[in-house]
Structure 1
Amino acid sequence: MTGLQANVKALDMEAHNTANMNTDNFIPQSASFTEARPVGTGVTLSVAARAQSAAENVGGAPSGTDPASSITNSLVYKAGFDLSARLIQAADERLGTLIDIRA
């Protein structure tokens, strides 16, 4: 479940960056996935402002948001969400099989 939640938050963040692409002086954010504590209990997401510099302003947007990076990140976060959903589905199916065997 934490993987689903973290990827949804990351998608929201990237959508916010894209929506503000033409906003002057908007500082885009970047997502960083880290393992939750205690180890093995899931994943957490920390969002931090990206360092903005003229060198990073590759996309030419007033905000410094790079459209290509934004699209790529969105695809990665969507794939992470899909993978987390499949993992939950597989675990649910295995649990159902275990319950049927014991019945």
Structure 2
Amino acid sequence: MAISALQAGLSGLQSNQQALAVEGHNVANLSTQNFQPQQANFQETPGGTTVTISTAARGLSAANNAGGAPSGTDPASSITNSLVYKANFDLSAKVVKAADERIGTLLDIQA
């Protein structure tokens, strides 16, 4: 059980790291004309979580994108998403730490 928790925690760390990188890429290109923002899509798998990266659909042109950037990226959404991904990353790190402690306890019992 501790090994599967460790694997789930590690996949959470990796997935949220990728999602944060996507948001960083989008924010870095806020002022780039005709930039196509990317979107991170999470999928659950038996071993944890994976992320696929796709180009976000653009419902509005940059000229009609009030409050957004010329690239079509919404800065408020990017910041909010980044905070969510950071919180998820922190939680995954706690899962890894707890699983590591559990494995250490099991090894101590067997020794």
1:36-65 alpha-carbon deviations (Å, 9 max, x no partner) = 2xx2x1110011111112278343310111
Corresponding position: 1:63 with 2:71: yes
Q: Percent identity?
A: 60
Deviation at 1:99, TM superposition (A): 1.0
Q: Contact 1:59/1:65 (CA < 8 Å) preserved in 2?
A: no
Higher relative contact order (CA closer than 8 Å, sequence separation 6+) = 2
CA RMSD of aligned residues (A): 1.5
Q: How many residues align?
A: 100
- TM-score (normalizing by structure 1): 0.90
Map 1:10-89 → 2, pairs under 5 A: 10-36=19-45, 39=46, 41-54=47-60, 57-89=65-97
Structure 1 ranges of 4+ moved more than 3 A: none
| TM-score after normalising by structure 2 | 0.84
Task: Specify every segment of 5 or more residues in structure 2 that has no aligned partner in the other structure, as ranges.
Answer: 1-9
Q: Which of the two has greater helix per residue?
A: 2
Matched, 1:6 2:30: no
Determine the C-alpha separation between the residues in 1 that align with 2:36 and 2:73. Answer: 8
Q: CA deviation at 1:100?
A: 0.9
Q: Are the counterparts in 2 of residues 30 and 49 from structure 1 also a CA contact under 8 Å?
A: yes
**Consecutive unaligned residues in structure 1, runs of 5 or more:** none
